[in-house]
Chains A and B, each alone.
Chain A
């Protein structure tokens, strides 16, 4: 339980900030949304007026200096995450940042090291872990209902993916929503990933280009295996996340959003249902968890230490797709750093 309300500012007045982050913080019981920053002056002023945010900024530096927010939520595109987060950390603000945190491994490691000595917390918003199906699935796993997890499959088949603006940098759906299914696979198995494979394929995209793969396979140090599939090109039979987790005592299935329930079936056919009877507002839970971690000086569940595993698996998938080989983890830093840099300056 939080003890007080925290001053929070948002970086970005774009679509996702307006659709999810800003409404969530406005409605939060643990935060006061004090400012919004975006380079687009017209948009940020309009957003502040529409949502009743006190101050609009076009400069993050100015916002940090004048508002001194305790928490900054960064909702910009991935290449800008680390530079912006570093400015916030330097200003003494805790940082909640959208996923994927970065596609640049050197940048990630440098930032993680930089933050180690700073009195602030950084959390990556892998908010799908905070959705009802994930909470239900974790309850099933932690409660021992299905025994030890040895197989996990997550798939997302949708046609609503964003259109890439730059084909050269477009690496497919795992840069966006897909990183959630990758992260959930890690979350459910709960063990270090030791091998990654991303099959090279040609997935025709609605915008007329192809992306290189739609699946990441993960091997874990206990012998478990996971398949995370994400295809937003589908021309029919759209499905949001279907999750199947098999354990030594039973199998757990969740087809979301048709049903947020987790259905456990055992070898004798007996079924049980785990239902999370709460409003399914994952971002509200994210900010509540982050505030709780700040107040109690604990590591967020998707802090840098944990998220490094997801970033490494994602980068290993790119390497795997490029080379046609599986990538063993932990890998040499140079291997995961070998992607074309996507850094931008703040």
Chain B
């Protein structure tokens, strides 16, 4: 069983303790210990060494893998780099960085190090995302040409949650994005100093388009992820957690239930990561792949500022 260190306790990271003793052995943690981490670790029978400083933990602990889950994305690459230097394989929370150029430099370091690095775009691994993907691959809608995916509610910002939606469009299309146009709105009711509604239109090779709406200003009618995929033979739609609904013309709607397998994307991710580590193979969510998603997001911010579409690749020149 791989020995793991966990740097940071952002969001779902305490849930990693649930894999302790089955997939990994968490030997040390760093960052501000909190009651939820205490609870999760206790329930798993895990008693890791505790550090305040991520770098001290990495330097002192003898581990196989590092899970980098710091709250600030600006720490992901530096902490990840330290782990690579120490000889660890690394899994990092998305976004890899707020700065696509830093992320690109990190990707180069990963390549030079020969270590395995993976970014946690976990929504791809959820059963709903897989159901749409499976339906597309099975030709249920023909060739997709328009994807509309949205999320509305009081969630974290675009960089944290919206990036999943962008990643889903890449995952479903499996084409290269060529431009992005974005709009950002800061409504008067929300004091947060960010654009609270962000809409991205992403142009994909072949003239296909994806519309992404990430709205965390929503004052009502909130919802978790919903998607609609238009193909040249049928249309599909899904509300996360519900069956995929496929309709060809005016035929009766075909409902494809989600997989009955456990819908635990963190577990699936970890299993895939460990398999990649064992086989020394590139994981699906490798850093180079994440760069493309991150590049779309960064280009989106640029588009919000300039009011013009931005050609891709934008900040990660040569990443394609």
Contacts and interface: CB of A to CB of B under 8 A. Distances in A.
Tell whether A pairs with B: yes
Contacts of A200: 203, 207
A108 B201 CA distance: 31
A137 interface: no
Interface string A203-214: 110000010001
A250 interface: yes
* Interface hub of A199, A217, A248 (most chain B Cβ within 10 A): A199
A236 B135 CA distance: 15
Given A201-B209, A225-B197, A253-B221, A151 B146 contact: no
A325 B209 CA distance: 16
B309 A197 contact: yes
Interface in B258-282: none
A326 B219 contact: no
Interface stretch (B29-37, B107-115, B121-129, B242-250): B242-250
Interface string A115-135: 000000000000000000000
Interface in B123-151: 141-142, 145-146
B145 A248 contact: no
Interface string A316-333: 000000001110100000
A104 interface: no
A175 interface: no
B232 A235 contact: yes
A203 B220 contact: no
A225 B218 CA distance: 14
Contact of B237 (A210, A219, A235, A237): A237
Contacts of B206: 202
A81 to B, nearest CB: 31
Contacts of A203: 145-146
A46 B212 CA distance: 51
B217 interface: yes
Nearest to A222: B188
Given A150-B185, A204-B145, A237 B219 contact: no
Nearest to B311: A324
Contacts of B145: 201-204
Contacts of B309: 197, 199, 324-326
Contacts of B234: 235-236
A223 B219 contact: no
B116 interface: no
Contacts of B247: 235-237
Given A147-B189, A199-B201, A237 B235 contact: yes
A250 B234 CA distance: 34
Interface stretch (A21-29, A86-94, A264-272): A264-272
Interface residues of A, number: 52
A14 to B, nearest CB: 26
B220 A265 contact: yes
A231 interface: yes
A192 interface: no
Nearest to B206: A202
Contacts of B211: 215, 227, 229
A253 B187 CA distance: 18
Contact of A234 (B208, B219, B230, B245): B230
A148 B188 contact: yes
Contacts of A324: 179, 309
Nearest to B190: A248
Given A201-B146, A215-B211, A227-B199, A250 B232 contact: no
A13 interface: no
Contact of A217 (B183, B189, B208, B249): B183
Interface in A155-212: 157, 159, 195, 197, 199-204, 210
A214 B208 CA distance: 11
A246 interface: yes
A326 B308 contact: yes
B183 A219 contact: yes
B278 to A, nearest CB: 42
B203 A199 contact: yes
Contacts of A153: 213
B219 A251 contact: yes
List the 6 closest pairs (A to B, CB-CB), nearest first. Answer: A202-B207, A265-B220, A236-B247, A251-B220, A236-B235, A248-B189
15 contacts: A148-B187, A150-B187, A197-B309, A201-B203, A204-B232, A214-B209, A224-B185, A235-B230, A237-B236, A246-B197, A246-B218, A249-B219, A264-B220, A266-B219, A266-B220
Given A147-B189, A225-B199, 12 more contacts: A151-B187, A157-B230, A204-B232, A217-B199, A235-B247, A235-B249, A236-B248, A236-B253, A237-B237, A250-B219, A264-B220, A267-B219
Interface of B: 141-142, 145-146, 179, 181, 183, 185-189, 197, 199, 201, 203, 206-209, 211, 213, 215, 217-221, 228, 230-237, 245-251, 253, 307-309
Interface of A: 146-148, 150-151, 153, 157, 159, 195, 197, 199-204, 210, 214-215, 217, 219, 223-225, 227, 229, 231, 233-238, 244, 246-251, 253, 263-267, 269, 271, 324-326, 328
